[in-house]
Amino acid sequence: MEPITSHLSPSNKETIMVTLHGATHLPTCKDGSEPWPYVVVKTTSEDTKNQNAKAVTSVTSEPTTAPIWGDTVKVELQAEDAGREDVILKVVDNKKKEELLSYQIPIKYLRVFHPYHFELVKAAQSGKAEEATAKTHLYATVVRKGSFFPRYIGSNHTALEVFLRGVNEPLVNNRDPMVVIARVVPNYNDFKVNQIKQDAASMGLPITRLSFPNPSVMRFDVPRGSQNGCPQLSKPGGPPELPSWNQSFLFQGRDGATNFSEDTALVLEYYSSTSMKGSEPWTLSKPLGVSVLPLKSRLYRKMLAGKGLNGLRVERLPITDTKLKTMNGEAPTVDISFQLLSSEAPPCSPGKPPVLGILAHGQPSGMLPGTLASKACRFCE
């Protein structure tokens, strides 16, 4: 699997990104044995032509009916074909090459650039004839990417891009790699109230359940401007003593992510990657900590101040509400970079990194006084 670095698909094409997290209650093979499962992702035309699949996950290290993959694969198609193509996810046994399950999602149902966190549910007959039919659950994040960012009325910018690097100081009490849920919320106080009320949409990662073979088109609807933002999940960051992600998140203007105000905030929640395993892969336990960056109007003005200043780098943003400790007994910090995108198709060349300002996070109030200076940064990596 090749690394994915661009948020845009090639010109006149669309890209479907699929991250396969795991599954539960997979059927056994026809002879009753447990499978060595992997997932193949194809478009309907590729499947009809029996083309060799390029989008293939790894095979589990042992036979299992509850695999964990964590792999991201992609398929590309001509943009003009998106309205009549489906994306097919096939679970296959590596040893016998038996197809265990297949899920088919119409691409036209997917809103461009929205990350869908799906629980795909399907009745699957076990290989053992005497066993009753069980419900199989496949967990996947699916993103449909276009060759340009849509521009929405009322938004001066098309997107906010956030680049999360890693924890700055070695940790002394963290045992496992970490995953991060990142979101931009329009009103942080309201978001915290929703969490206190145990509102499911504000806790962990909200899941969209699709029942097959005929998922409802209504399940793909995306309300505009959610109070709880548009949460995105990082890849696991390791090693446990110094987690690193080097991952970029894209938040659309449609979701209000570019509307800086006195109440808007970027929220990063840190979880142990092991909380995604087990019988409920999406049941993320209480976060290990949280980082909050207020996206105030003042910060917006700083971002746009100065010739050639495309964004900002925030140094030492603290992880709060945490028991994580560094070697000197203090709470850890992270560095992030972010920039507003105004073009529908902004250039992104690692060879010519954009110029970023630097903000040193200095006050618990999150006012971000700091100093502003020009500095080059490999933000496109």
Query: pLDDT tens, 326-341?
Result: 999 998 999 999 888 8
- pLDDT at position 377 is 35
Residue matched to tokens 């920039």:
339
- pLDDT at position 283 is 66
* Band (204; pLDDT cuts 50, 70, 90): confident
- Provide the percentage of residues in the chain whose pLDDT is more than 70: 82
- pLDDT at position 376 is 34
Residue 185 has pLDDT above 50, yes or no: yes
Domains, the chain: 13-145 (2.60.40.150), 159-190+223-376 (2.60.40.150)
DSSP annotation of 256: T
- Provide the percentage of residues in the chain whose pLDDT is more than 90: 58
Rg of the chain over CA atoms, in angstroms? Answer: 21
Q: What is the mean pLDDT of the chain?
A: 84
Write the burial class of residue 279 (CB in 10 Å: 0-12 exposed, 13-18 middle, 19+ buried).
Answer: exposed
- pLDDT at position 157 is 86
Task: Evaluate whether 339 touches 356 at the Cβ level (below 8 Å).
Answer: yes
Q: Are strands 99-106 and 232-233 parallel, antiparallel or unpaired?
A: unpaired
- pLDDT at position 131 is 47
| DSSP E strand boundaries for 107-239 | 116-124, 134-145, 159-167, 178-185, 208-211, 232-233
Lowest mean pLDDT among 209-223, 306-320, 348-362: 348-362
User: 237 or 373, which is more confident?
Assistant: 237
Structure tokens at 301: 């003005």
Residue 189 has pLDDT above 90, yes or no: yes
* Band (281; pLDDT cuts 50, 70, 90): low
CA 262 to chain centre: 26
**What pTM, to 2 d.p., does this model score?**
0.85
- pLDDT at position 59 is 96
* Band (258; pLDDT cuts 50, 70, 90): confident
- pLDDT at position 65 is 94
Report the alpha-carbon distance of residue 95 to residue 76 in Å, rounded.
28
- pLDDT at position 183 is 96
88-101 pLDDT, tens digit per residue, is 999 999 999 999 99
- pLDDT at position 300 is 85
Report the alpha-carbon distance of residue 288 to residue 179 in Å, rounded.
10
Residue 196 has pLDDT above 80, yes or no: yes
118-168 pLDDT, tens digit per residue, is 999 987 655 444 444 568 999 999 999 999 988 877 778 888 999 999 999
Residue 1 has pLDDT above 50, yes or no: no
* Band (3; pLDDT cuts 50, 70, 90): very low
51-89 pLDDT, tens digit per residue, is 788 899 999 999 999 998 989 999 999 999 999 999 999
Average pLDDT over residues 174-180: 93
H helices present in the chain, as ranges: 44-48, 188-196, 297-304
- Adjacent-strand bridge partners of 247: 164
